[in-house]
Chain A
């Protein structure tokens, strides 16, 4: 399973766009990139998943360069409620289930 490296923490203000970059230099061909959000005393919540290029859903965008050695989670116009820990995970996604290994994550603190 590919190891991931993220900034330990980030600060932002309400209404700003936040970009969190994750490095995964030894990502394998079959690996997908998935981002999760975790609030204190809660289980992680899926945000977005991608394999290459750009993926967008109603809450975030995920940018993946051609070499796939990194990825950037983009949160548009953050609010105070986006204060959480964000995890970047890399692993194989298949119908047989996959083992999800968490890195240290990035603590995002959104200020008013």
Chain B
């Protein structure tokens, strides 16, 4: 079954509104989660690192005021796309690292398809 759950799987919103996407680790605690954006036929682009109890770390070129990240608990990180515009339409994916025996494996959510109209 899923280890990381993302909700909603798809959302359509009007320009200027805000959309919140949730990422939950289901059977483990994640002090760190990662948010990615993926445009059609392109690879995943890391947007930010979500840190439980502290501020998120954003990658270069990602507007922190537009993509608000909150990691209020050890199992939940949220990404809020504020004042969404059509160019924000994309596939958003979260991941959380989970220790698996000797190593750590990154588990990904199922993704959220955002369409801004």
Could you tell me which A residues sit within 8 Å of B by CB distance? 32, 34, 36, 41-46, 49, 87, 93-105
A96 to chain B, nearest CB (A): 8
The answer to whether A41 and B91 have CB atoms under 8 Å apart is yes
A103 to B30, CA, bound (A): 24
Please determine whether B104 and A93 come into contact, CB atoms closer than 8 angstroms. Answer: yes
Bound CA–CA A103/B43 (angstroms):
7
Find out whether the CB atom of B44 lies under 8 angstroms from the CB atom of A45.
no
Report if A46-B34 is in contact (Cβ < 8 Å); known contacts: A99-B46, A100-B46, A104-B43.
Answer: no
Q: Residue among B44, B91, B111, B113 with the most chain A CB within 10 A?
A: B44
Is the pair B43, A102 in contact by a Cβ cutoff of 8 Å?
yes
Decide yes or no whether B77 CB sits under 8 A from chain A. Answer: no
- Bound Cα distance A7, B36 (Å): 22
Q: B63: which A residues are within 8 A, CB to CB?
A: none
In the assembled complex, which residues on chain B have CB atoms less than 8 Å from the CB atom of A102?
36, 43-46
Known A-B contacts A41-B91, A44-B44, A102-B43; A97 and B32 likewise in contact (beta carbons under 8 Å):
yes
Tell which of A32, A49, A99 has the most Cβ of chain B within 10 Å: A99
A43 to chain B, nearest CB (A): 3
B103 touches A93 (CB 8 A): yes
Binary A-proximity of B18-58 (CB < 8 A = 1, otherwise 0): 00000000000011101010000001111001000000000
Which residues in B have their C-beta under 8 angstroms from that of A49?
A: 103, 105
Q: Are A43 and B93 in contact (CB under 8 A)?
A: yes
Name the B residues within 8 Å of A94 (CB-CB): 104
Taken together as a complex, chains A and B put the C-alpha atoms of A15 and B110 apart, in Å, by 28
Q: A43-B6, A43-B111, A97-B97 are in contact. Are A87 and B103 (CB under 8 A)?
A: no
In the complex, residue of chain A having the shortest beta-carbon distance to the beta carbon of B57: A99
Report the Cα distance A92→B46, complex, angstroms: 16
Min CB gap A47→B, angstroms: 11
B31 and A42 form a contact (CB under 8 A): no
Contact A100 B106 (CB under 8 A): yes
The answer to whether B32 and A101 touch across the interface, beta carbons within 8 angstroms, is: no
